[in-house]
A and B are shown apart, each in its own frame.
Chain A
């Protein structure tokens, strides 16, 4: 039996599908980014444009604003989920009745379709119907209308994402915490270290790989959030919550500006890869450091 040949045959369907639906679109978007092409313009055929689309993009205030808002969103979301998730993981670590049940309930949001998450939060926040605007007004006299106030809309999307994804952080850190060795902690206690010192000098270094992996994954996901936001705010009010995925959608579909949309898509991909790489380098460099010590 020619084992090389059999192996490649088994692998072939996977590689072909990933090539057609992963690599071909990438090459296509690369080519498209160098043409002027608007399906509903006076002249709907593509024309070579050089780097015009990229030049336009650098001076596009809406694009820059969208990137900025996406970065702000990702920052708030990842930081809060990390802190909250760590505290919840600590609480989940000790033993208490019905732990398995509570863990399942806690994991529930992870399985829910993002679009349904958006729907749930819309029902919570719609004026006249949702409990949030009603109670904030009745008890605090706070005027809560995410359709009108930019900051409220922004932070509502942040809170929604925290509700949706904190369980992932909790469960990853819980897995990491349960596999910690006991000796260093006992030793630190014998040496009379304070609780904070134990956290800072013992727990944190052990958890570092798990924390970095979690931050990495949450960051990637936060940067590409579309469905929930689309359902909750539709990108508004004005463009406050029009994060990068929604921005791309807007350029490509209602505006049918294909050439420019392609350039925006590619720059987004590029920025994501750069961020990815920076986080990865951070992760590997830390690991390297630890092995030296």
Chain B
């Protein structure tokens, strides 16, 4: 049976999707055109795809280094955060710790702070205080990996808390009575049961770390620059080559596109800090 409201709704969402997709499609169009074709009357249809911008970007050693840094930072941070958050939430969920609700609340508030406020102290600490001899935390991947814990750990703890609380206590108590060690309980019982939640946490923290710009731009200079800072450099440093910039931007948002389908339902719970379950 045909219902007119369904049809109108469908049409409306087609339009809305066009609005959502158009800016990204336009960026793709720019990235797939040669310099000579760019200016003049904008045309939205690509006759042929000009791959040169992508080839040039991917062969650029600077870009390769930035991409490598981004992958290392996001992956290490995501792994570190998920592991530490699992340990922390297990402790908060199963042990009768004094003041644990206050500790939980305090960890969460770490994410609320505006990052710009911490630019100055972190810059000074990284360049001056956090150093051993000649070595400084400034401009290292390690510096970014550790720093990103400040916004990713609270998020991961928040998401995992519900999941660990949802695993019946009796399971690990029984195992402990049977003589299993804490390590065995974690790897044999908690890890398999919490796997879906852990996967979502790992993916979302990975994306947040990948997307971060402000700290990456101010706490690195040469060696540890990430892809987001590379993208910004197109505007500030070079005389803007729009085609190359669009190609870089497309490569920057690629992981988001790939992961979107996997975690789509959890994005809302993630971004609203669990205030609303998606």
Picked from A130, A167, A252, A276, the residue with its CB within 8 Å of the CB of B112 is A276
Q: Do B110 and A265 touch (CB < 8 A)?
A: no
CB closest chain-A residue, reference B21: A105
Determine, out of A8-16, A149-157, A185-193, the stretch whose residues face the partner at the interface.
Answer: A8-16
Residue A194 at the B interface, CB < 8 A?
no
Residue A113 at the B interface, CB < 8 A?
yes
Given the complex, which residues of A lie within 8 Å of B193, measured CB to CB? Answer: none
If over half of A's interface residues share one DSSP class (helix, strand or loop), that class is named, otherwise mixed; here it is: helix
Q: Do A231 and B232 touch (CB < 8 A)?
A: yes
The distance in angstroms between the C-alpha atoms of A123 and B176, with both chains bound, is 59
Residues 251-278 of B contacting A (Cβ, < 8 Å): 252-253, 256-257, 259-261, 264, 267-268, 271-273, 275-278
CB closest chain-A residue, reference B39: A128
Determine, out of A20-28, A140-148, A198-206, the stretch whose residues face the partner at the interface.
Answer: A20-28
Given the complex, which residues of B lie within 8 Å of A248, measured CB to CB? Answer: 116-117, 119-120
Q: Do B182 and A13 touch (CB < 8 A)?
A: no
Residues 95-131 of B contacting A (Cβ, < 8 Å): 95-98, 103, 107, 110, 112-125, 129
Residue A171 at the B interface, CB < 8 A?
yes
Instruction: Looking at the assembled complex, report how far the CB atom of A265 sits from the nearest CB atom of chain B, in whole angstroms.
Output: 4
Residue B146 at the A interface, CB < 8 A?
yes
Given contacts A21-B150, A25-B121, A113-B256, 19 further A-B pairs with CB under 8 A are A8-B91, A13-B84, A14-B88, A14-B157, A18-B107, A22-B110, A24-B121, A96-B13, A110-B271, A115-B228, A130-B42, A131-B42, A210-B276, A217-B273, A217-B275, A230-B232, A253-B218, A265-B116, A272-B113
| Interface positions of B (Cβ within 8 A of A) | 5-6, 9-10, 12-13, 16-17, 19-21, 23-24, 26-27, 30, 38-39, 41-42, 44, 84-85, 87-88, 90-92, 94-98, 103, 107, 110, 112-125, 129, 146-147, 149-150, 153-154, 157, 176, 182, 207, 210-211, 213-214, 218, 228, 231-232, 234-236, 242, 245-246, 249, 252-253, 256-257, 259-261, 264, 267-268, 271-273, 275-278
